Amino acid sequence: MQQTSKKDAYIALTIATIAMAVSFMVWASLSPVSNQIATEFGLSASQKSLLIATPVLLGSIMRIPMGILSDRFGGKKIYIITMLFTLIPLALIPFASTYLFLMLCAFFIGMAGTTFAIAISYVSTFFPAEKQGLILGIAGMGNIGNALAGLIIPRINANWGFDWVYYSLIIAITVIVIIFAIFAKEMTLSAQKKTLKQSLSVAKDKNTWYLSLFYFLTFGSFVALSNYLPAFMGDQFSISAVNAGLFSAGFAATATFMRPVGGILADKLNPTKLLTAGFALVAVMACIIAFSLTQYGLFTTMIFLTALTVGLGNGIIFKMVPMVSKGNTGAVTGFVGAAGGLGGFFPPLILGIIKQTTGTYTLGFILLGVFAVICLVTVWAVYVRKPAATA
């Protein structure tokens, strides 16, 4: 069995986190320029929402097989192959001349979102169980790529044009692939290879589905809002693309930096009770947001409090992943991560349809509050009221 030092472990953690950040910039790259694309292609609100949501679809569904492949063949290999694949749609987007072709490119850009499952599977093998909350929280900070997309892409677009948004991302992916290949060690693989059936056995564990439900809310809210806020702020408050990107970046950064804090808290306190409190807060804040859509100050305050809460929740939930299946971390991460990604896919579509049919986003945020209540009741009934269920 391959032995790894502390130095190897922290190099792997650092490179994997940076690689996820760059990959998440790719994953979220269409959102900051969506209003410009909508104008050039004459898109409706629902078409624009579909374009924003499309990368999330493949990036969610493919987390399950990519997590399993990482467990089986090694996270470093799978990470590098995935990042190289994303170069193809990145190179094609500047040549898109139809909405259909653009949607096809957006779909395959979604592979960048699968790096989350690969990173968690890869990094978790380098560290002991008692550090998993903090370490996986740090690895999950690769989500900062959503913030970087909102912060950097509008500026590249404004100064050098749309095509250079994607040329810049190609350069960034190429550089991180080279660094990964040279400096990162491969993870230690299990001597006994699991079959596909054994890897998918985690689907029989109810805890996998409970964690998936919770992550559908917390990470789904993070992805949906950080991706949709640039378009939302432009439509709702008529602010510029650069300022809307800043707002989205602030939201994503807040949620991202709270993730390891959630992991640390879950290492020291009961994670299920922490989730109960978090879901209650999300329910309250969603209802306040629903009725403050014309009040900029109150709306922004509630949005950033929501970012803080779901960021903590993301860290707490992934502290619980090794509790479900220690030997199948990649598979469980794939399932839970896929649920979180799908939680980011549907809300933009629903918000676009609600806006188009009712003229307001109010109902969309009410539905968020209702779903938070469902998660609250579930975590209380399954884990808090019956603590033996966590065994």
Residues in the chain: 391
Q: How far is CA 39 from the centre of its chain?
A: 27
Sequence-distant (≥ 6) Cβ neighbours of residue 386 within 8 angstroms: none
6-384 CATH choice from 1.20.1250.20, 3.40.220.10, 3.10.20.740, 3.90.79.10: 1.20.1250.20
At 322 the pLDDT is 65
Residues 311/256, Cβ–Cβ less than 8 Å: yes
At 2 the pLDDT is 47
Q: Using CA of residue 57, residue 60, residue 64, residue 70, what is the dihedral sign?
A: positive
- What does the pLDDT profile of the chain (391 residues) look like in tens digits? 345 678 888 999 999 999 999 999 999 899 888 888 988 898 887 788 788 888 888 888 888 888 888 888 888 999 999 999 999 999 999 999 899 999 999 999 999 999 988 998 899 888 876 676 678 778 878 888 877 888 899 899 989 999 999 999 999 999 999 999 999 999 877 666 666 666 667 777 788 888 889 999 998 888 888 877 877 787 788 888 778 878 888 888 899 889 889 988 888 888 888 999 999 999 999 999 998 888 888 988 999 999 999 999 998 887 777 665 555 666 777 788 788 878 877 777 787 788 778 888 888 889 999 999 999 999 998 888 765 444 4
- Give alpha helix (H) positions in 62-126: 63-73, 75-92, 99-109, 115-124
By C-alpha distance, which of 24, 34, 15 is closest to 253? 24
At 95 the pLDDT is 93
CA distances to 26, 76, 172, 390 from 80, rounded to whole Å, are 15, 6, 13, 35
Place of tokens 């809300």: 347
